[in-house]
Structure 1
């Protein structure tokens, strides 16, 4: 019988994802993910749910190794972004970045702030990374709402 770590690794590889890609999509550190896959540590229930959804596998299969591995899905591309999706996300993020920087450079009164304090460059980069992650998740979640005649499968 396989371990939880082995099943996590199998599911990730079946999706064709590398650990760095999982990190980009979930913000789970590579070292942490490696620890999960090598049975050094176990993910909490929220992390397990995130990974199960990303990999398109059932929670039951991940936890026990029994039952169906894959979740039935009408859209076989539901767990991956196309090149067009990546370009669109890149364009939206460039616009958001430009809007933030433009707002900051206009005058000090409109500077981006958090809890009344101006945000540092690192904080702004962190905010942009979080926004990009949210954009990716929203794009993936909304793929199922694309009419069939417009899907490229």
Structure 2
């Protein structure tokens, strides 16, 4: 049976145990708009889809197309555990260097401060950026593990 985007949005919301009013409280998407999405009256933009994907903890690809696994995040968690202690140390070292480079560049001169859309970034925004970079670093490390010849793996 072929499902529509609206069907998948409803399934994902129900799987997460949320009512439309709770989604409104957490995302500021009003009930009428959300109902329109779920009933295929209208379609959310990409930013709204990303917000709902994160809230419902489902795969973006699945939500958009209906293909693949609905629950990608749990699969990422399994892979995360396949990082070795050395991988974790290496990621830690790389993240420390990135943080040092970012913060040194922003503390030398106000003109060099980290900025987003012309405005200096707050400490919270910088931490958020670093968390996103660390997540990307972990995913890249996991993705590249499959290219290591078996004789060099510690499996």
2:131 is aligned to: 129
Greater RCO structure (CA 8 Å; 6+ sep)? 1
TM-score (norm 1): 0.55
Any unmatched runs of 5+ in structure 2?
A: 1-13, 19-55, 63-69
2:105 is aligned to: 103
Equivalent in 32, 40, 43 of residue 17 of structure 2: 40
Any unmatched runs of 5+ in structure 1?
A: 1-34, 57-76
1:140 is aligned to: 142
Residues matched between the structures, number: 97
Residues in 2 aligned to 1:142 and 1:87: alpha-carbon distance in whole angstroms: 16
* CA distance 1:50–1:89, change in 2 (3 Å): same
Residues in 2 aligned to 1:107 and 1:128: alpha-carbon distance in whole angstroms: 21
**Is the Cα contact below 8 Å between 1:104 and 1:111 reproduced in 2?**
yes
Residues in 2 aligned to 1:136 and 1:106: alpha-carbon distance in whole angstroms: 29
**Bigger radius of gyration among the two:** 2
